[in-house]
Amino acid sequence: MIEIRWRDLDAYNHVNNAVYATYLEECRDEWMTRVLEGAGDPWDWVLARVAIDYRRELTQDDDIVVVSCRVTRIGNSSVTLHEEVRTQNGELSAEAEAVLVARDRVGGRSRPMGDAERAALERELASETPRGQTPGSDPS
């Protein structure tokens, strides 16, 4: 949960579109830290892509947003996440797709994810897969 701060508002008195990216980043950072605990360094990953679909404006009156993310696909060096920003009442305000890429700190380029990282992400994917769906499959 993230409190909507007065500084998050723009001249239209709603949360500025760029602030949604910050909300998603805060959630994504906490999620990666939790999932990779003991398996890898979350700071060895970089955001390669994010696409946000805005569904409902947020105002100061919404007070708190609930932000979530879950893994939808695991590649050789990347992981794709589905992310959501919701009001406390559960109304969808935005949804996003983000792609994180494992990065070699020395060379600054992408790298294949390590076995421990892959295992941690696969455990997370399996734990989040709704019944009747195959991990990594598109439900639509």
**CA proximity to 70, closest of 18, 108, 127, 112:** 127
pLDDT for res 135: 41
Q: Could you give the CA distance from residue 40 to residue 62 in angstroms, rounded to a whole number?
A: 36
pLDDT, mean of residues 84-88: 97
Residue 128 confidence class, pLDDT cut points 50, 70, 90: confident
Residue 139 confidence class, pLDDT cut points 50, 70, 90: very low
Q: Is the pLDDT of residue 137 over 90?
A: no
Cβ–Cβ under 8 Å, residues 112 and 77: yes
pLDDT, mean of residues 32-61: 96
Q: Is the pLDDT of residue 127 over 80?
A: yes
Specify the higher pLDDT residue, 102 or 134. 102
pLDDT for res 129: 53
Fold of 2-128: Thiol Ester Dehydrase; Chain A (3.10.129)
